[in-house]
Amino acid sequence: MQEIDTFIGDSLGGDAEVSFIGNPLFYGPQVIRNIESEFGIRGQRYDSLLAAAKARSGSAFQLVLVDQMHAEDLLELSASGRFDPGMATLALAYRDADVARNFLRRWYARLDTTIGFLPMNVALEVWLSLVRLLLHGQVVLPDELVASRAALGDAPPAAKDPPPCALPPTGLPPTGLKPLTLREQEVLELIARGESNKRIAAELDITVHTVKLHVHNLVRKLDVPNRTAAVSLYFEQQQQQGSAR
């Protein structure tokens, strides 16, 4: 993993940082040192989301970790558009799984953007592995939260790729997705694979803003409430197509 971690630091440049929003009791100097020594990227703690947003003009956020004590602010400020992490990966750092599950349900009830989750009460090597995934733009959803997805009603797409057999072998969209343009179909397939907007933009060589526009359009065309529901329809159509063969 050392080559990958060195690449993370080298590729992001000197201005990139992992931002912690929370109390220094939980995100003290040792936590910052762990990040900097493991990934070669600067770590910085902020007392609030607004303080981080104010500092963003001089920093290129790569990963924003928000403590569970700021969960309410994160939800409200994100929903109102007053906090936007840009191209950074956003994750809730939690110590109480019940708090994280409640936040998960409320987040996807109000927003159609993905968010990761980082448990803080795990061994250091596990914690660093999860941070590594987040730095690579992956949506981390621990098993203790996945178990409650069925009860949430509107859950996020799985962080792991679906089995290869779940993808159309011909590259053609299921019949029910025909209203979508080819580009919208490509975006939806990548969403179904658990890719973030940033990764989709890089894969298709378009901007993140364009990705969001495609997501908005495909959600409207499929007459579903959000991207999560679009992914559910995507797999449902694939299963129906497979059964018909």
Is the overall model pTM greater than 0.75, yes or no?
Answer: no
Sheet architecture: strand order including 89-94: 42-46, 16-21, 60-67, 89-94, 116-119
Average pLDDT estimate for 112-117? 86
Block residue for tokens 């809730």: 92
Structural domains of the chain, ranges and CATH numbers in brackets: 2-152 (3.40.50.2300), 164-244 (3.40.50.2300)
Residue 167: pLDDT over 50: no
Q: How is residue 41 written in tokens?
A: 């990227």
Residue 82, helix vs strand vs coil? coil
Closest by CA position to 32, among listed 46, 48, 52: 46
Residue 40, helix vs strand vs coil? coil
Over the Cα atoms of the chain, what is R_g? 18
Decide the pairing of beta strands 16-21 and 60-67: parallel
* Percent of the chain at pLDDT exceeding 70: 75
pLDDT per residue as tens digits for the range 24-70: 988 889 999 989 999 888 899 999 998 888 876 545 668 999 999 99
The answer to whether 112 touches 90, Cβ cutoff 8 Å, is no
Q: How is residue 184 written in tokens?
A: 């919208």
